Chains A and B, each alone.
Chain A
Amino acid sequence: MNATNRGLGRTALVVVGLVLFVAGVGAILVQTAQGLPLVASWWRTAGEALVGLGTDTSRDDSLLSWTWVLGGGIVVGILAIVVLTTLGGGREGTVVESDGSADGVAGSVRVESTAVQHALSSAIGGLPQVASLAVDVYRVRGGRAIRVRVRPRRGASPREVTERVEAVVADLDALLGERLPVLLEIARGGAGSSRPDRVH
């Protein structure tokens, strides 16, 4: 539910995976399969292309080739850091921020995430089916979304839990005057979940 850009991450994985895989297989072929004409000719071409990086070349050639290596290393390194910075994050401190511009009244209203967390926790935590729960507010598609993670007691009906949380969220909608997207996650395990719900 966090703000990780999964498309970018998967693209990066595919690219890096392909490069490493091809490099590894290529090295094995070059070392062991010089008998194959395709491998031998391909390796000769590669050697000619990379001759500028070796000792057997002019000073200018060498400087130019290694400048490319240096620049490429910097660019790839920056790209890797950019991908790393897209991981995680997305938690938000405010749920609603409105300056009430429609009415032209001065001042603004801000509802903090903790207010919603307390309201939902106390309402949902009282349900007999719920062993423990956590409420978080995340940024999703530019807006705010609430995640309610419920760990029910053993054998609790997911439909019953969903209906009760729906009722609680309906109250929250009335309270906020806005229908925020809410994700309900009914998760396994957790404290008290091994104890069955005896009193209905």
Chain B
Amino acid sequence: MTAVDGRTASVPEAGPAPSAGHAATYRRLLRRETHVSRSGAVVVAMLVTLVLAAAAVFAGALVLLDQNVLGVDPRAVVDAALAAPDGLDTTLVVGIAAIVALVGLVLLLQGVLPQRRPRHAMSSDRLAVVVDDEVLASAAARAARSATRLGQDAAVGTVGRRTVEVVLRPAAGVDVPAVAATEAVEREFAAIDALPALAARVRVQPTGRVDG
């Protein structure tokens, strides 16, 4: 924590006021970084809207100018649609309507569901920190391995939203200090202090490998 003291000493004008402002900024940054951006879906939705709007403008202009395209009058099209279900092919209408409804449902769910990214926030005095779960998993695997005498690929880490699990796969006949490995992983994640908090678990696979 000497770094913190050094900073406050060297930058006296940066008092509590700016860091209070940073709290809101950091909250916003962390929320944006741990949730998926919907910009792709938004672009699709807006392009669909633009096409429909352009069609409406085009049809309106045709009627106001008393023109028609390929002998089709927009007013006649409306007549035909309002006459439904008479005079329309049921399979065609239901097929197109189903596609439209499906696209609408997908866009709706994209807008409503929270859609988290596989990431965790980490505590820090100065920074806003986000870590990919994959990085946490490989740190867990490394920590578990460090307490044992296992090789590179004998430990596999998996990180969920609230749990981290390490599976040790020792070569046949090798004894593994599972308790020490668990303690090492727990120490590592106490230091990491992820948010939401991660509970560590180490499992030793009973079936040994032969290649080790």
Residues of chain A having any CB pair with chain B under 8 Å? 1, 4, 6, 9-14, 16-28, 30-32, 34, 43, 46-47, 50-51, 53-56, 62-63, 66-67, 69-74, 76-77, 79-81, 83-84, 87-88, 140-141, 143, 145, 152, 154-159, 162-163, 165-167, 169-170, 173-174, 177-179, 181-189, 196
Contacts and interface: CB of A to CB of B under 8 A. Distances in A.
Interface in B45-97: 45-50, 52-57, 59-61, 63-64, 73-76, 78-79, 82, 84-85, 88, 90, 93-94, 96-97
B37 interface: yes
Nearest to A177: B11
B84 to A, nearest CB: 5
Given A181-B128, A183-B128, 4 more contacts: A76-B49, A80-B53, A156-B139, A159-B188
Given A24-B101, A80-B50, A84-B43, A31 B90 contact: yes
A70 to B, nearest CB: 3
What range describes how many residues of B lie at the interface? 35 or more
B104 A20 contact: yes
Q: Mostly helix, strand, loop or mixed at chain A's interface?
A: helix
B147 interface: no
Main secondary structure of the interface of B (DSSP, over half): helix
Among B19, B41, B88, B188, find the residue whose CB has the most chain A CB atoms closer than 10 A: B41
Nearest to B100: A24
Contact of A173 (B7, B57, B90, B97): B7
A73 to B, nearest CB: 3
B107 A174 contact: no
Contacts, number: 285
A70 B57 contact: yes
A21 B101 contact: yes
B56 A181 contact: no
26 contacts: A9-B39, A10-B111, A12-B42, A13-B41, A13-B42, A20-B104, A22-B104, A27-B100, A54-B82, A55-B75, A55-B76, A56-B79, A66-B60, A69-B59, A70-B60, A76-B56, A77-B49, A80-B46, A87-B43, A140-B25, A157-B191, A158-B139, A170-B126, A177-B13, A179-B19, A189-B134
A105 B189 CA distance: 51
A84 B78 CA distance: 30
A186 to B, nearest CB: 4
Given A54-B82, A77-B50, A183-B29, A32 B90 contact: yes
